[in-house]
Amino acid sequence: MKRRTDEQRERLEQFVFVCTNDRDSEHACCGDVGATETLEAIKSWLRERNAFWSPIGVTTTGCLGLCSEGGTAITIQPRNEWYSDIQPEDVPALLEDEFGPDAEWVGESPADKSRNES
């Protein structure tokens, strides 16, 4: 077993978890409402700003408990931000609001961000 915390702390400031849960059920799940396309939109936005995987990691996850027929659920950690009903076309505005137009707010807390906006 290797502890790699320091290595990851050096590389990653934020992590976007995208629910891609797919289930055979009558209940809504992100896998049925465009999760793959939303995931790709997130990756593309970050790649275009040279922020993909460093400093912002992205991974898929199972159910986040925000299931909706309206779109995909994500969470951004360690900010403790949670969203549901995301469509791929929502991604640029959402990520710009979280990280800044060029992902320049990555290391800022939400409180820092609101101070900068006022």
- Which residues of this protein are in contact with ligand FES, per CB under 6 A? 19, 21, 29-30, 63-67, 73
Q: What's the one-letter identity of residue 84?
A: S
Is the preceding omega at residue 92 within 30 degrees of 0, hence cis?
no
Rank residues 21 and 113 by Cβ distance to ligand FES and give the closer one: 21
- Name the minimum Å distance from CB 16 to ligand FES: 14
- Name the minimum Å distance from CB 79 to ligand FES: 18
Rank residues 29 and 91 by Cβ distance to ligand FES and give the closer one: 29
Say how far apart CA 66 and CA 86 lie, in whole Å: 11
Report the 10 Å Cβ neighbour count for 106.
18
Rank residues 91 and 103 by Cβ distance to ligand FES and give the closer one: 91
Rank residues 67 and 94 by Cβ distance to ligand FES and give the closer one: 67
Could you tell me where the beta strands, DSSP code E, fall in 70-114?
A: 72-77, 81-86
- Name the minimum Å distance from CB 2 to ligand FES: 31
**Strands 56-61, 14-19: parallel, antiparallel or unpaired by DSSP?**
parallel
